[in-house]
């Protein structure tokens, strides 16, 4: 099977240091495997998408020497695929409409917390809406042993999550009529034939949901590798929300060497002299660091 990897930024602002680390890790892994590297713009979260940010990210990647091997795809142009997957799940009876408001869910979680029981969505609407209007659509997760999803992460090691007790039935179609990230990402990774997913560890917690959804849709599961997220001095993930600054794009080599160092790659002074020298050294260092 030939390797196909991807970088899937959400265009919520310019590329920042944290997303550069994810881009670089996925690029290095694809190059180390002599594979194909794709870019997918995840622009279906209307309220969070910033006009112009996607092009800005693509331009920055290019300036940094990372150009996709196929034209980038845009999730906003792929709505029909998400609809098809949704219809399939609906026909198999795996999803159901949910009428709970955020407040109702929050209240039930507070009650559950007080009882020291599950913090997952309690499945209130599984048996019907009880007269409430439908808001979101949720995927039914199994009970008992079947709810446990285990996978081997290329960086973080073996991961296990119990979908029933830790997550609960999760949303595929949001109350604001948008496709949820979990559905779009699984449909796209399958449609694009992605074999290896390399991304930030903030998405580690979503992976069991994605693997379960792959099973429901009868598509193969890629292999996963989650690199450590970049945090600020307070330990918060570096992102636009936490005030991360955009990269200094006039000095790609400085930022790239910093990103490689964050990934635990030891770079020589020569790697700061040209993009070619940087990538040659970084690919070798990545291959030695990540054996799979
Ligand atoms: N679009 C997601 C993000 O920027 C990443 C999705 C993924 O790599 O699966 O956080």
- Tell me the pLDDT tens digit for each residue of 230-255: 877 677 776 655 555 668 888 999 99
Q: Does the pTM exceed 0.85?
A: yes
Q: What is the mean pLDDT of residues 117-128?
A: 82
Q: Which residue has the tokens 């009970």?
A: 143
Helix, strand, coil % in the chain, rounded to nearest 5: 45, 20, 40
The average pLDDT across 110-114 equals: 73
| Domain of residue 169, CATH code | 3.90.800.10
Which atom of ligand 1 is closest in space to residue 189's alpha carbon?
9
Query: CA 136, CA 50: separation in Å to the nearest integer?
Result: 24
Pick from 39, 44, 31, 33: which is nearest to 70 by CA? 39
Q: What's the gap in Å between 132 CA and the centre of ligand 1?
A: 33
Give the torsion sign (CA, 53, 55, 61, 63).
negative
Q: Which of 144, 173, 202 is the last residue of a domain?
A: 173
Mean pLDDT for the stretch of residues 92-119: 82
Whose alpha carbon is nearest atom 7 of ligand 1? Answer: 8
Q: How far is CA 90 from the centre of its chain?
A: 24
**Same domain membership, residue 283 and residue 218:** yes
User: What is the per-residue pLDDT across 180-190, written as a single tens digit (0 to 9) for each?
Assistant: 999 999 999 99
Final residue belonging to a domain, choices 173, 200, 221: 173
Average pLDDT of the chain to the nearest whole number: 92
> In this predicted structure, what is the pLDDT of residue 104?
84
**What pLDDT score was predicted for residue 30?**
98
Query: Rounded distance, CA 181 to CA 185, Å?
Result: 6
How many domains does the structure of the chain reveal?
Answer: 2
Highest mean pLDDT among 2-11, 102-111, 248-257: 2-11
173-175-181 Cα angle (round to 5): 40
Q: What is the DSSP letter of 16?
A: B
Residue 191 burial (CB count, 10 A): 14
* pLDDT digits 0-9 by tens, 163-176: 999 999 999 999 99
Whether residue 195 is found in the same domain as residue 281: yes
Nearest CA to ligand 1 atom 6: 8
Domain extent at residue 156: 81-173
Same domain, 229 and 148: no
Q: What is the pLDDT of residue 232?
A: 73
Edge-to-edge strand ranges of the sheet holding 157-162: 157-162, 148-153, 223-227, 196-200
């Amino acid at each position: 099977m030939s390797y196909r990897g991807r970088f899937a930024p959400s265009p919520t602002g310019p590329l920042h240091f944290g997303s550069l680390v994810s881009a670089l890790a996925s690029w290095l892994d694809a190059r180390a495997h002599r594979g194909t590297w794709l870019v997918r713009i995840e622009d279906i979260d209307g309220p969070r998408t910033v006009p112009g940010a996607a092009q800005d990210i693509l331009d920055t990647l290019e300036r940094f020497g990372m150009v996709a091997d196929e034209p980038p795809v845009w999730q906003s142009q792929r709505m029909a695929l998400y609809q098809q997957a949704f219809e399939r799940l609906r026909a198999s009876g795996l999803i159901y409409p949910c009428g709970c408001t955020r407040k109702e869910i929050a209240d039930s979680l507070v009650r559950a917390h007080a009882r020291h029981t599950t913090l997952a969505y309690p499945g209130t609407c599984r048996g019907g809406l009880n007269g409430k209007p439908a808001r979101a659509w949720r995927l039914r997760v199994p009970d008992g042993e079947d709810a446990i999803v285990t996978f081997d992460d290329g960086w973080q090691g073996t991961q296990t999550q119990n979908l029933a007790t830790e997550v609960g039935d999760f949303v595929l179609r949001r109350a604001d009529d948008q496709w949820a990230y979990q559905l779009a990402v699984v449909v796209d990774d399958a449609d694009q034939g992605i074999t290896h997913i390399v991304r930030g560890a903030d998405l580690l917690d979503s992976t069991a949901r994605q693997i379960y959804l792959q099973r429901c849709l009868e598509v193969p599961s890629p292999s996963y590798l989650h690199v450590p997220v970049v945090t600020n001095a307070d330990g918060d993930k570096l992102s636009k929300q936490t005030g991360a600054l955009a990269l200094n794009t006039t000095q790609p080599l400085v930022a790239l060497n910093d990103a490689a160092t964050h990934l635990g790659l030891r770079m020589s002074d020569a790697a700061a002299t040209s993009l070619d020298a940087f990538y040659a050294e970084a690919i070798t260092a990545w291959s030695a660091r990540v054996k799979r």
